[in-house]
Amino acid sequence: MKKFMKWLGLAVAGLALLTAAPHVVRADTWSQPVATIGSSLTAEQKSGTLSTLQNAAGVNNASQLTVNGATLVKYLNPSGSTFTESSGVWSSALVQKTDNGGINVKIVPYNGTNNITTITADQYRNAALTAGVSNANLYITSAVRIDGSGALAGVYAAFAQNGENLNNQQINAAQQEVNTLSSITQANKDKDGYSDKQLNNAVAGAKQQMASQSNNGQQTLSQNQIGNIVDSQLKQNNLTTIINNNQRQLIINLLVNVQKAGSLKNNDFKAQAGKLADSIQNSAKGLFDKLNKSLNTEENRNFLQKIWDGIVSFFNGIAQWIQSLIK
């Protein structure tokens, strides 16, 4: 009897612990989308921002989350930003979680004007992938001209509000990635043969390749291995002669950070990276068809050159053999 009472007491205690523990339910889709609104907007701008985002997403039931300086400090400062709690926030986002389809981003004009000056749609997508986001539609806008950092912080906050606290190290890696890719695009945007889509496709492709070679993060790739992957992706995207050595090293560094942060270990990372690369290519099909044709032409040229070199070498060998007989 005493033994029975002892086991009964343990069972009751265990049940009490289970019921007392906080329980977070993570669904593939949320009950409603979340609109993250910059705190520095006027009342009229907040209303206009919400309407702009909801119209773009085709919804009218988004819950609202205010993004302020404290949000920027929490999510962006650990990666090196210097926001304060009094920093202004204007750029805003609407996050719509889905159960498939990858990460999709649309920068929505506010009253006909695109006011996001620095971060591109594909940079948002790559950052979201690194941070651990999967299968989500993100709509970004701003009533005033601004770089767009506030909207990205809002995306992270929206996931936290729905019980999906993204890994801090991955968020830091994502922020470093945004800074790196935006700086490379700013430096090369006026060069012939360069586009932000090529750069982001190369990075997405590198992420997919890294996940594959590392067995989804179970093995650690060396910096040299990551460098080889970067070189392969730059070649495939016809960026080898445009990206300089310093920029190449910056890309390698950001991918090393992605690996260190644990992003490759996310169950869906490889598939999401593949979907991202496919989507980028489909969004600029003419550009990438031209690149593939150019790459194939170069490969064919190299192949024919090798054949010709072999023929020349063969006849040179015969000529040398004949000369040796004459001597």
Least confident range of 41-50, 109-118, 318-327? 318-327
> What pLDDT shows up at residue 294?
60
Render pLDDT for 120-163 as a digit per residue (tens, 0 to 9).
999 999 999 999 999 999 999 999 999 999 999 999 999 999 99
DSSP readout, 208-273? Answer: HHHHHHTTTTTSPPPHHHHHHHHHHHHHHTT-TTTS-HHHHHHHHHHHHHHHHHTGGGSTTHHHHH
> What pLDDT shows up at residue 14?
46
pLDDT-derived band at 13, boundaries 50, 70, 90 = very low
Task: Count other Cβ atoms within 10 Å, centred on residue 77.
Answer: 16
Render pLDDT for 265-306 as a digit per residue (tens, 0 to 9).
998 999 999 999 999 999 887 777 777 666 555 555 555 566
d(CA 5, CA 231): 68
Highest average pLDDT, of 8-12, 42-46, 282-286, 317-321, comes from 42-46
> What pLDDT shows up at residue 203?
98
Instruction: Please list the helix, strand and coil fractions of the chain in percent, rounded to the nearest 5, in that order.
Output: 60, 10, 30
Render pLDDT for 76-86 as a digit per residue (tens, 0 to 9).
999 888 999 99
- Per domain, the residue ranges of the chain are 34-166, 169-286
> What pLDDT shows up at residue 23?
34
Render pLDDT for 164-205 as a digit per residue (tens, 0 to 9).
999 999 999 999 999 999 999 999 999 999 999 999 999 999
> What pLDDT shows up at residue 7?
47
